[in-house]
Amino acid sequence: MRILVAEDTELNRDLLVQLLENRGHAVVCVGDGVEALTMLARQTFDIVLMDEVMPRMNGLDTIAAIRRAESKSGKRHLIISMSGNTTQQDEKRHLDAGADVFLEKPLKVDKLYKAIESACATETQAAQEKDYWAPRTMGAQDLAAHLRRTTRGNEKLVRSLLKTFLSDAPKKLSAIRRAIAKKDMEQLTSIAHSLKGSLGIFDAQEAVDAARRLETMGRSHDLQDAEAEFRALEKEFAQLRHELLSLPRKAKSPAHQRTFRKH
């Protein structure tokens, strides 16, 4: 199947591409809703995997625009929407906008495969689904096992994710610190959202929660507790960094450690 992925976080895009291509699908990625509509006008896709929070044009508005265009063309894509907002009301918003399937973020890999493969009318796996993204109390060995499960044992993808994350996350933390100091609500919301998605890949639930709270503060223009929340985020990231740098040699290379130490 040809799948268009609309996701603004680079780390999430890399993970989705590898997981979907390993399943035999052809994948094209874009970073926001405007790019998604442009790509759909140029190429043919079977499935659209749509994030909710993106710059320029969010997922819900993009889904609605896709459905309006389809009413004229007669073609209908399967749209799978993704969101870190996971209440029943949030799911209803996505389905009302025109999504066929709603998936919670961080994504559970088996649910993603099931949604796509059910849509393809192929036989789905009968194995009992495991929650790979449950809150963690893990050390390096448990984290390594989590990453192997998440990437389906793709060590090359694990190394790529580590390299990108350890290089990118410190920059995002610095950008969040500057946004708080300058009271730049838009920048705080955007960067905290992006970092939240990256942290979710590594099952860092407490760090994800801290980033989500900062994102909410930016969106609500309320920075009363932002500095304390940022310190909590830094603490959780430091713990995660320690665990990542302590991974077994097979899951990382010296280049990843060197990349981080530059920051």
Based on the domain organization, do 13 and 108 belong to the same domain? yes
3-state helix, strand, coil in the chain (%, to 5): 60, 10, 30
- Residue 3 host element (H or E): strand 2-6
For 116-163, the pLDDT digits (tens) are 877 664 333 333 333 333 343 445 567 777 787 777 778 888 888 888
Report whether 81 contacts 94 (CB < 8 A).
yes
Based on the domain organization, do 60 and 170 belong to the same domain? no
Based on the domain organization, do 90 and 164 belong to the same domain? no
The answer to whether position 216 is within a domain reads yes
Report whether 107 contacts 129 (CB < 8 A).
no
Based on the domain organization, do 107 and 144 belong to the same domain? no
Residue entry with tokens 């780390």: 11
Based on the domain organization, do 149 and 109 belong to the same domain? no
Q: What percent of the chain has pLDDT over 90?
A: 42
State the pTM of this model.
0.60
Report whether 212 contacts 53 (CB < 8 A).
no
Based on the domain organization, do 215 and 181 belong to the same domain? yes
The answer to whether position 31 is within a domain reads yes
Residue entry with tokens 């591409």: 17
The answer to whether position 125 is within a domain reads no
* CATH number assigned to the domain comprising residue 196: 1.20.120
pLDDT value for 139: 53
Based on the domain organization, do 200 and 90 belong to the same domain? no
The answer to whether position 25 is within a domain reads yes
Q: 81 in helix, strand or coil?
A: strand
Q: Could you tell me the residue range of the domain that residue 62 belongs to?
A: 2-119
Does the N-terminal peptide bond of residue 55 adopt cis geometry, omega within 30 degrees of 0?
Answer: no
* CATH number assigned to the domain comprising residue 75: 3.40.50.2300
For 184-211, the pLDDT digits (tens) are 999 999 999 889 888 888 888 889 889 9
Total domains, the chain = 2
